[in-house]
Amino acid sequence: AEIDRRVMDSLRMMRIDMYKDRYPTELSGGQQQRVAIARAVASSPKLLLLDEPVSGLDPMVTAEMYELIADINRGGVTVVMVTHDVSAALKYAGHILCMRQGLTRESWFFGTPEEFLTSSASDFLKGGAVNG
């Protein structure tokens, strides 16, 4: 009963509870992404790692997915998300880690979205090294 409750809570959170009896092939790409996140959230994690969770989704679904992910974060789950969408990072992130050229610390920026928009972030976006 506890597992069923958690599954249904996760599906409702991701707004896909009406599709609970469908097979993956019967779901759209956005619905499949929501199922993947719902499965992860059902285990009540403290940390959720997402790698390009809106990749390949249309803009309307992308915006809704970002809001759902933000809701998960506001619910107390720390979310670490890889994205190439700078505008989404600036809107939703508490902190941004931007790695321009791999693993060398000199090519990283780490800070708040506000700091990202400062002059040092501007240098970073132009291709200069920035230490955060």
Q: Which amino acid is at 25?
A: T
* Digit-coded pLDDT (tens) for 86-131: 889 889 999 988 877 666 666 778 889 888 887 565 565 655 544 4
Helix, strand, coil percent values for the chain (each to nearest 5): 55, 15, 35
* Digit-coded pLDDT (tens) for 21-57: 999 999 998 899 999 999 999 999 999 999 999 988 8
In angstroms, the CA 25 to CA 28 distance is 8
CA-based max dimension of the chain: 56
| pLDDT, position 87 | 87
In angstroms, the CA 104 to CA 19 distance is 45
